[in-house]
Structure 1
Amino acid sequence: MVGRATSDRSMKPGSVRLIGQGDALLLRMGLAFAAGGSSVLIFPPFSMLIAVPVVFSALFPVLRTVSPKCAFLIGWAFGLGQFGFGISWIAESFYVDADRFGALAIPAVAGLSAVLAIFPAMAAALFAVIARRRRLGGIAACLLFATCWTAAEWLRGHVLTGFPWNLAGYALVDYAPLRQPAAWIGSYGLSFLTVFAGALPGAAFSTHTRRRPAVLCGLIFLGIWGAGALRLGTGAPTATGIDLRVVQGNVSQREKWAPGNREATLERYIDLSSSPGNATVLLWPETAFPGFLDEDEAARARIAATLPKGALLLTGAPDRVESDNGTRYFNTVQAYDSSGEILTGYAKHHLVPFGEYVPLRDWLPFERLTEGLGDFTPGPGPRTLALPGAPLVAVAICYEIIFPGHVVDDLFRPGWIFNATNDAWFGTSIGPEQHLASARMRAVEEGLPVVRAANTGISAIVDANGDVVARLDTGETGIIDARLPGARAPTLYARLGDWTLLVLIVGCWILIKTAGAAGRVRRARNSKTEGT
């Protein structure tokens, strides 16, 4: 049997070696998938900081030893695990109307994860291409890896409609000093530092100079912590005199749009809003009123009766406008005074594909997940609203709060951000916690408090440092009465946006290159001295 196997002419030369390579690639892809799946632990609600070096140090050394094609596949496997577990909560939205969409839940999450995995795959392939052409030391290779990764994250946040969910920097959101540098370099810059530091232990175990990468990893985290602590200790915002009431009606998505439930929904919000207190601004979540409130005089009169004189209501509500091309529908936040008159409004501009509109509707045979008469029309973009007796406010409806640098109108800086949202689609999954993490990062980046009203949770008041001052958890019915936190001075990121990211990356490369050149000169001098 042994002689027959070795003399088999049907086997091509080198076939055993090639099969071995294929098995090794599958093994590496499997390990990368596991590492990507484990990355869900670095984000809220888990926020396991120790998992950051485990996740990225598991991926980085592997990519240094493979071809660009293999690197692409390994990076894609990592991304498949990263998004497959990290955004698994999206499946919950398909079960709201299980008869129509339940069967699509798993295929939709799997398909979206496979598409989003292309971004880490691109980062891995780019890293492998450049690393092959240049002989890089362990630290420089980690810097290249972090640069490629951050570029891919930035693209993920901007290509097509963009989806900057669970950026690597969000691993630091639950650690007050560590998230503060986002005020200077934004969430993408924080991702760069997180991935750089997270990959360094991998370099320490894969090179002879183990001490330097390990020490640098510690110095990066200590540097971030020190800079963040310094910011927390200076420039404390001045408190405002505005009393808020955030109402969380806790109406399930299945019940919300049922025709017979509109009265009960309105009654619930009115009862909660009427609780004793001195709120001057009342805040209801996205589409809190399941109908066209500006067209319903009776409903507005009932709401106005609950508002103290001089008080305001900001509420989510759909809107429609007749035009020559037919009726256009908008997802809006509308402001009403105590007489029930509409003061101003904001229309959501960053709509959710397949949730609020169907892209390429004439070509794709899909329905929207949300109830409605037609696709929503996008608004003109970030706007600052002026309200009597209250600071200027920026409004971000639901999904819009996840976009760094695209929440606030640059021309008219507000004093706070109102995030009206409806996470009822996602039940008690980890989705609402991850969504809140994005809101907290926007607060740090902009130096502005964020007030979040969610239908079923998580409603919260977040100060300008990203701390949660008060919250109502998922599934709770109730109100938050609190004073509106003050704003900080405009941050560097608020003024310059993602240009600070470019400066950070270029600066790190110059620093590493300068240190490397200085080391070579020093070693050359030492060798000459020893020779003499």
Structure 2
Amino acid sequence: MDQRAAFDQVVKPEILNRIALRHRFLSRMTLGFAAGAMTVLTFPPLSILLLVPVAYSALFVGLRDLSFGRAFLVGWAFGLGQFGFGIWWIAESFYVEAERFGTMAIPAVAGLSAGLAIFPAIAAALFAEIARRGAMGSLLACLLFATSWTVAEWLRGHVLTGFPWNLAGYALVDYAALRQTAAWVGSYGLSFLTVFVAVLPGAAAMASGRQRLTISLMALAGIATMWAVGTLRLQSDAQQPPGVDLRIVQGNIPQEEKWAPENREATFARYLELSTRPGDFDVLLWPETAFPGFLDEDTEARARIAAALPDGSVLLTGVPDRVPSDDGMRYFNTVQAFGDTGKILTGYAKHHLVPFGEYVPFRGWLPIERLTAGLGDFTPGPGPRTLALPGVPLVAVAICYEIIFPGHVVDDLFRPDWIFNATNDAWFGTSIGPEQHLASARMRAVEEGLPIVRAANTGISAIIDANGDLVARLGNGETGVIDAALPSAHPSTLYARFGDWALLALIFTTWAVGLAAGLVGTHRCNKRTRTEKKSCW
């Protein structure tokens, strides 16, 4: 009996305590996964702004007093929910040729989501470890969380080929005044401010008394400041439009039909028919690989295009290109410009290629085929380039995937007057993917202070002004044209001049102001919490 009593008094409570701790940790992981999935509802096309503080505050609170490893797992669960639900549409590209790639769809998207989830995991673990090692006030904890999150997002946009998709700041894309902050600090800076303000309600919920009121007021002040600054930018005097008329053609050719040899003439004829509808234009714009062949080698096709172009107008179209070299034939994904005589004027080669779509990384090691049809991997171009065309304002070109990279779409030494984004989202059907892609383009317009003209094969084609507003659009699955004037550009933005250095300045300034104002501190920590290296947040 004595041994049983000893067991009941010592061992049994310890076992129950461990079970309770394990259950509590699993609950936090489940909460993290649900919060991550919730972030998808904050991005276009839904843009439910009220869910932003709910999702990020849930993660913030769920990391309280966790070890490095457990915080990593909770952050990973958050990322798995965020990307698992946020990029599921990538699976649709595998079903374009279902007999070859269909079985890879779910494993590929699941693997990609699990890999991308490592970045929120890094943010969570970094935050939890620093917070656990030093006593800190709630507001300082919020700043630390936002900084850790921004570092992880920046790494996600740059490590390997980078994939800066659905950055936290994109929750503000559909809110005109709030998104304007990106003109100064870029999308990563907007993410920093968004996450910082979003976790303040979580910090307020854990605080008490006067501190709770202070934190709540700071959250309201942050939103009000971003709104006021953005409103002032929206009300600034617009420059005179350049007086250039555009026509965007959306041919709406399904991806599985586009490259079939028997459909080549019908595809080309559809683009010519749409292009020659009544109306005047100076610039005709076709989407990525609109012409299913090597247009610069096809004299007859260029003659038909010349006949469709009004005098003095130009065509910008996406086309594949090939160039012989000592290593054999090299293939490029390009946008080429043609004059009203059918002569090629200039061109741009895509430099940021899609892994496994336009080339296979580590081809010597990976026995994997790329998803797009073609004779070989594409070769990357030299980088952002500004094109000078007769009678047309200077134009930069970003082909499809390239538009998602903040600070990497414009030649910094030769600033253009507008950006042409030729894309083909037909791979992703009528999913939310094209809406999310359009959101990235709208953020590039704000960052650079430049209008963006988007021509998409099946949608979404659009004209975006320098504030990120949609001037005109053709929805997913529609066939038609957009006729509209080219919007004016803003003067070069702070972000366009300094890039992500502006982000560093924002983070350092925010921390300096927070510390100097005495809004954060350790006055609520006692000697015991300092000794145990616990945080006060």
Please give the range of the TM-score, normalised by the shorter of the 2 chains.
Answer: over 0.9
How does the TM-score come out when normalised to structure 1? 0.95
Question: How many angstroms does 1:66 deviate by?
Answer: 1.0
Amino acid at match of 1:139: L
Q: Name the structure 2 match of 1:87.
A: 87
Partner of 2:186: 186
Could you tell me whether the CA contact under 8 Å between 2:251 and 2:458 is conserved in 1?
yes
Shift of 1:21: 2.0
- The 2-side partners of 1:517 and 1:367 are apart by 56
Deviations 1:161-192 (A, max 9, x none): 00000000000010100011100010000000
Q: Tell whether 2:100 aligns with 1:100.
A: yes
Compare 279-288 and 135-144 and name the one that shifted more.
135-144
Correspondent of 1:269 among 264, 267, 271: 271
Match in the other structure for 1:298:
300
Matches within 5 A, 1:336-351: 336-351=338-353
Report percent identity of matched pairs. 71
Could you list the per-position Cα deviations for residues 243-289 of structure 1 after superposition, in whole angstroms to 9, with x for gaps in the alignment? 00000000000000111000000000000000011101000000000
Structure 2: distance between partners of 1:467 and 1:194: 20
Structure 2 CA distance, aligned partners of 1:213 and 1:162? 35
Greater alpha carbon shift after TM alignment, 129-138 vs 447-456:
129-138
Q: Offset at 1:103?
A: 1.1
Which residue matches 1:528?
none
**1:114-513 alignment, distance < 5 Å:** 114-208=114-208, 209-513=211-515
TM norm structure 2:
0.94
Kept in 1, the 8 Å contact 2:358–2:377? The answer is yes
Q: Which moved more, 1:512-521 or 1:89-98?
A: 512-521
SS of 1:318's equivalent in the other structure is strand
* 1:15 CA displacement: 3.5
Q: Cα distance, 1:17 vs. partner?
A: 2.5
Q: Write the deviation string for residues 281-319 of structure 1: whole angstroms up to 9, x where unpaired.
A: 000000000111111111111111100111100000000
Counterpart code for 1:70: R
Tell me what 1:527 maps to.
none
Q: What letter is aligned with 1:150?
A: T
Distance 1:256 1:78 in 2: 38
Q: Match for 1:372: what amino acid?
A: G
- The answer on whether the counterparts of 1:460 and 1:470 sit within 8 Å (CA) in structure 2 is yes
Shift of 1:45: 0.1
Contact 2:335 2:349 in 1 (8 A): yes
Q: Distance in 2 between matches of 1:339 and 1:122?
A: 56
| Letter aligned with residue 374 of structure 1 | G
User: What's the secondary structure of 1:405's corresponding residue?
Assistant: coil
Q: What secondary structure does 1:320 align onto? A: strand
Determine the C-alpha separation between the residues in 1 that align with 2:359 and 2:20: 48
AA aligned to 1:415 is D
Per-residue deviation at 1:67?
1.1
CA drift of 1:19 comes to 2.9
- Which secondary structure does the structure 1 equivalent of 2:127 belong to? helix
Name the CA shift for 1:413/1:5 in 2 (closer, same or farther; >3 Å): farther
What does the per-residue CA deviation read over 1:131-165, in whole Å, with 9 as the maximum and x for residues that have no partner? Answer: 01221111110010000000100000001100000
Residue 120 of structure 1: how far off its partner (Å): 0.4
Cα deviation per residue 1:428-455 (whole Å; 9 max; x = unaligned)? 0000000000000000000000000000
Query: Is the CA contact (8 Å cut-off) linking 1:287 and 1:316 kept in structure 2?
Result: yes
- CA distance in 1 between counterparts of 2:388 and 2:82 reads 41
Separation (CA, whole Å) in 1 of partners of 2:493 and 2:283? 26
Return the offset for 1:515. 1.5
Between the aligned partners of 1:465 and 1:158, the Cα distance in structure 2 is 26
User: For 1:305, what is the secondary structure of its paired residue?
Assistant: helix
In 1, Cα distance between the equivalents of 2:104 and 2:520? 58
Secondary structure, aligned partner of 1:210: helix
Say if 1:146 and 1:192, in contact at 8 Å, map to a contact too: yes
Q: Which residue of 1 aligns with 2:61?
A: 61
Does structure 1 conserve the Cα–Cα contact (< 8 Å) formed by 2:140 and 2:521?
Answer: no
Give 1:104 shift. Answer: 1.0
Q: Distance in 2 between matches of 1:176 and 1:301?
A: 44
Segment of structure 1 superposing worse, 396-405 or 104-113: 104-113
Change (3 A) 1:8 1:513: closer
Cα distance in 1, alignment partners of residues 49 and 5 from structure 2: 52
In the TM superposition, what is the alpha-carbon distance from 1:8 to its structure 2 partner? 9.5
How far apart are residue 5 of structure 1 and its match?
Answer: 11
Pairwise CA distance, 1:16? 3.3
CA contact (8 A) 2:136 2:522 kept: no
Q: Distance in 2 between matches of 1:285 and 1:220?
A: 40
In structure 2, do the counterparts of structure 1 residues 508 and 257 end up closer, same or farther at CA, with 3 Å as the change threshold? same
What SS is found at the alignment partner of 1:406? coil
* 8 A contact 2:322–2:331 mirrored in 1: yes
Structure 2 gaps of 5+ residues are 524-537
Partner of 1:109: 109
The letter of the residue matching 2:106 is I
Contact kept, 8 Å, 2:28 with 2:74, in 1: the verdict is yes
Q: Which runs of 5+ in 1 are unaligned?
A: 522-532
How much has 1:240 moved relative to structure 2? 1.4
Conservation of the 8 A alpha-carbon contact between 1:235 and 1:488: no
Per-residue deviation, 1:4: 8.2
1:520/1:22 CA distance change after superposition, 3 Å: closer
Distance of aligned partners of 1:516 and 1:336 in 2 relative to their CA distance in 1, 3 Å threshold: same
Displacement after TM superposition at 1:6 (Å): 9.0
Q: Which moved more, 1:442-451 or 1:56-65?
A: 56-65
1:324–1:520 CA distance, 2 compared to 1 (3 A): closer
What residue number does 2:39 align with? 39
SS in 1 for 2:246: strand
Q: 1:33 and 1:276, CA in 2 relative to 1: closer, same or farther beyond 3 A? A: same
CA separation in 1, counterparts of 2:522 and 2:197? 24
Question: How many residue pairs get matched?
Answer: 518
1:421 offset after TM fit, Å?
A: 0.1
Maintained 8 Å contact 1:180/1:228: yes
Contact 1:170 1:437 (C-alpha < 8 Å) held by counterparts: yes
In the other structure, the counterpart of 1:530 is none
Deviation at 1:14, TM superposition (A): 3.4
Give, in angstroms, the shift of residue 237 of structure 1. 2.6
